[in-house]
Structure 1
Amino acid sequence: MNWKIWKKKSDLKKKKTKTREWIDAVVFAVIAATIIRVFFIEAYTIPSGSMEKSLLIGDFLFVSKVNYGARIPMTPVAFPFAHHTMPITGTKSYWDGIQWKYRRLPGLSEIKRNDIVVFNLPVGDTVALENQEPSYYNLVRQSDWKTVNSQYTVSSRPVDKRENIIKRCIGIPGDVIRMSGGVVSVNGKAEPLKNTGQMPYKIQLSTTNINFDVFNNLGFKVGEMQQLDANTYVANATPEMVHKLKTFDFVKSVDLFVKPSSADDGDLFPLDPNRKWNVDNFGPVKIPAKGWTVKIDSTTMPLYYRAIRTYEGNNVEQKDGIWYINNRVAANYTFKMNYYWMMGDNRHNSTDSRYWGFVPEDHVVGKALFIWMSFDSEGSFFNKIRWNRLLRGIH
């Protein structure tokens, strides 16, 4: 007799094979890890020295998506765990046929001054552009704005698939930023560089007979020190390192080595020939805030042209000295998003807001929390791991 006729249908189902169980486990793990990575926390590696001494090349960080609110994916169809490029083939890891508008979940706090923030690179993405987007200065020199605008088509990655970079937030929406003699001021108050950052200093010595192990022990990179003459060097250092160096009797003087205010770097934001700015002297610049209305004229447009046109998606033209936004005469403009001013702690070795201006809120990825691992590529075999940096908070 076939006793199976008395069994329930559920009992007749075949037991999962080992292969099926592994597939289910992998699918579940991928989905769970993707949700954690998109909405909660993500790993990040420091690729350059722009944040020294705060963050070093080889530091591995965890970046919180919760603090500022997780950004809903703007390019939802993408391969898991690959940011914008497949690791082996080098092809795109996403499909930009579907693009969602910018949305963000509620966060624990707003971005604060001096927060270390990970965000998508606003300009100059590493993908090759078919035609470079016109700058304000290049466009205002043209007589026919409509013709010029139609000739430039930006072929770049979607916002959330551009390179992730990390800097310190120097200014928040509504702040007025200025830099003079290498010192940043926010809303008229000087904000000297903390011991976590470094600037170049000119060091004058009283003798040429120097044991440079002293410099090594203080944290100087002797191999990168620039010699101006027999007794004079230029080196990057923190205020704390400089304070200790001044206590040695062979040190004659140590002074900030910055550019004079008359120097013009030329390639800095906002690429306006009427603003002779350099990396140590610039501003004032008011950071746009959501709901803030700016008067549109020849003074303000060099600063806010890119934000109005590119970040907020408006058609901006100038005809016979009159500005048009979306084909309407514009005397002012009200911003739709908040913006931020980001700078590297290694001030003379950082490409930051001094070069490309404001960072829009839709480019913000998250807040850097702590270092979970750190490798020194220049260290010996037994000293590759920087043990003193493990599980270290980021400030």
Structure 2
Amino acid sequence: MTDKIPTTEPPKTAVQKPKKKSPFREWLDSVVFAVVAASLIRWLLFEPYTIPSGSMENSLLIGDYIFVSKFHYGTRTPKTILQVPLTHQKIWGTEIPSFVDWIQLPQFRLPGFTHVKNGDVVVFNYPGCPERPDDFGGFDKYPVDLRTNYIKRTIGIPGDVVEMKEGQTFVNGKAFAPVPGLQMEYEIETNTQINEKIFVKNGITEFGQMISADDKTLYMVKATEQAIKDLKALDFVKNVRPLVQAQGDTSNLNNNIFPYNSRLFPYNRDNFVLTVPKKGVTIQLDEKNIAMYKGIITTFDGNDDAKYINGQIVLNGKPITSYTFKQNYYFMMGDNRHGSDDSRFWGFVPEDHVVGKAVLIWMSIDQNGSFLNKIRWNRLFSVIK
């Protein structure tokens, strides 16, 4: 006896067609996807920035739009997580904070494929300095990952001895590698007034007339070495003098040079020497080291109970005579040496403040250019050196 094969098919399960999304729902899904994708790219890989000031001229110009690589040095994990996506400190176009600091996560750095090197152009969160006079910028009290973004060139890496002698920079006793866009301040004497087009032609965007008499006109300019050579060749330029402070001259910047102690450190913007802190290195806390590094110990190195009291560092309630640095630090300066607010004025950049490496100029707009010359075409998609 054989089994009978059924001649009828089993009932089919009803299949419902998916509901068609409304135009609003499709738009909303697209926006959410775009925001999530942009946030991930911005956090993990690249972030766009605009150069708003002249501290890096002539290497980077006001109006340059750049990409900063997060993965070169390793992306930082988020610290302030309660924040409006794609914002920094404020909601766009308002003074309303874009975050609340109710939850602050421990911060780590994912593996990168390189480390910060001497000469790298780096974006970092401005740390400020607890001892810096408020008249000069004070201390940035935002959470670390939301502090103001700065861009400078790395002069000293952990352990380096950075020295400046009358405007010339040395690292570990050797002259710092030449920077083509580096510019400094000069006084130019002429026997006539200069048409500003001559300055612009030579890439000089910061200039001002000081004195105009019958036989002499003085200009103060910030210019590259090449621009100064070209100006010297003009027959109406009589003299060019670099405006560099002499060693020991604390006359006009005495209260604004890190570490703000002219008795122990008679420094100025063109003359100083210091050692960049390195993780694991132990120092003796003598008077000079306390003056130089107390901000690191009490504020940036992650010590919950470290204070500066009566000339001593007190850690966990006890005075200490030596200290071992817990993270690496860097010394940063702008290529516009006499027009940059940098480590000379507020100290070292902690490693946990480093955002990424500036790698590419993808757009450059000259706000003062004419209609046809608004875009600086020669700068588009140029690698940052």
Per the normalisation by structure 1, the TM-score is 0.85
Shift of 1:227: 4.0
- Whether the aligned pair in 1 keeps the contact of 2:207 and 2:221 (CA below 8 Å) is no
2:173 to 184, 188, 193: 188
Structure 1 residues 317 and 210: CA distance shift in structure 2, 3 A: closer
Give the Cα separation in 2 of the matches to 1:99 and 1:136.
Answer: 26
Give the match's secondary structure for 1:273. Answer: coil
- Percent identity among equivalent residues? 46
Give the match's secondary structure for 2:43. Answer: helix
Shift of 1:165: 1.2
Which residue of 2 is the match for residue 6 of structure 1? Answer: 12
- Whether the aligned pair in 1 keeps the contact of 2:140 and 2:147 (CA below 8 Å) is no
Shift of 1:13: 4.3
Structure 1 residues 251 and 295: CA distance shift in structure 2, 3 A: same
Which residue of 2 is the match for residue 383 of structure 1? Answer: 373
Shift of 1:56: 0.9
Which residue of 2 is the match for residue 296 of structure 1? Answer: 285
Structure 1 residues 246 and 88: CA distance shift in structure 2, 3 A: closer
> Are residues 1:24 and 2:29 paired?
yes
Structure 1 residues 381 and 22: CA distance shift in structure 2, 3 A: same
Shift of 1:173: 0.5
Give the Cα separation in 2 of the matches to 1:186 and 1:48.
Answer: 27
Which residue of 2 is the match for residue 372 of structure 1? Answer: 362
Structure 1 residues 222 and 362: CA distance shift in structure 2, 3 A: closer
1:349 to 339, 351, 359: 339
Which residue of 2 is the match for residue 244 of structure 1? Answer: 230
Give the match's secondary structure for 2:26. Answer: helix
Map 1:197-276 → 2, pairs under 5 A: 197-205=182-190, 207-208=191-192, 213-221=197-205, 223-227=207-211, 230-264=216-250, 265-266=253-254, 267-274=256-263, 275-276=265-266
Which residue of 2 is the match for residue 97 of structure 1? Answer: 102
Give the Cα separation in 2 of the matches to 1:159 and 1:310.
Answer: 11
Which residue of 2 is the match for residue 310 of structure 1? Answer: 299
- Whether the aligned pair in 1 keeps the contact of 2:132 and 2:346 (CA below 8 Å) is no
Deviates more, 1:41-50 or 1:82-91: 82-91
Which residue of 2 is the match for residue 326 of structure 1? Answer: 316
Question: Cα deviation per residue 1:24-75 (whole Å; 9 max; x = unaligned)?
Answer: 2221221111100001001101111111101111111111101111111111
Shift of 1:239: 1.1
Which residue of 2 is the match for residue 144 of structure 1? Answer: none
Give the Cα separation in 2 of the matches to 1:177 and 1:252.
Answer: 35
Structure 1 residues 31 and 320: CA distance shift in structure 2, 3 A: closer
Give the Cα separation in 1 of the matches to 2:194 and 2:319.
Answer: 67
Give the match's secondary structure for 1:75. Answer: coil
The residue type equivalent to 1:392 in the other structure is S
The residue type equivalent to 1:109 in the other structure is T
Shift of 1:213: 4.7
Give the Cα separation in 1 of the matches to 2:140 and 2:352.
Answer: 19
Gaps of 5+ in 1: 125-132, 138-153
Map 1:111-126 → 2, pairs under 5 A: 111-123=116-128
- Whether the aligned pair in 1 keeps the contact of 2:152 and 2:335 (CA below 8 Å) is yes
- Whether the aligned pair in 2 keeps the contact of 1:227 and 1:234 (CA below 8 Å) is no
The residue type equivalent to 1:158 in the other structure is P
Give the match's secondary structure for 1:118. Answer: strand
Larger Rg: 2
Q: How many residues align?
A: 364
Give the Cα separation in 1 of the matches to 2:31 and 2:79.
Answer: 25
> Are residues 1:286 and 2:291 paired?
no
Question: Cα deviation per residue 1:190-222 (whole Å; 9 max; x = unaligned)?
Answer: 2275221100123344x4376665444322348
Which structure has greater helix proportion? 1
Deviates more, 1:314-323 or 1:74-83: 314-323
Structure 1 residues 28 and 259: CA distance shift in structure 2, 3 A: same
> Are residues 1:64 and 2:69 paired?
yes
- Whether the aligned pair in 2 keeps the contact of 1:68 and 1:111 (CA below 8 Å) is yes
Which residue of 2 is the match for residue 50 of structure 1? Answer: 55
Give the match's secondary structure for 2:338. Answer: helix
Per the normalisation by structure 2, the TM-score is 0.87
Structure 1 residues 220 and 114: CA distance shift in structure 2, 3 A: same
Give the match's secondary structure for 1:377. Answer: coil
Shift of 1:253: 3.7
Give the match's secondary structure for 1:347. Answer: coil
- Whether the aligned pair in 1 keeps the contact of 2:51 and 2:65 (CA below 8 Å) is yes
The residue type equivalent to 2:222 in the other structure is N
1:175 to 160, 167, 175: 160
Shift of 1:94: 1.4
Give the match's secondary structure for 1:300. Answer: helix
Question: Cα deviation per residue 1:337-375 (whole Å; 9 max; x = unaligned)?
Answer: 110011111111111101110000111111111111111
Give the match's secondary structure for 1:30. Answer: helix
Give the Cα separation in 1 of the matches to 2:364 and 2:156.
Answer: 29
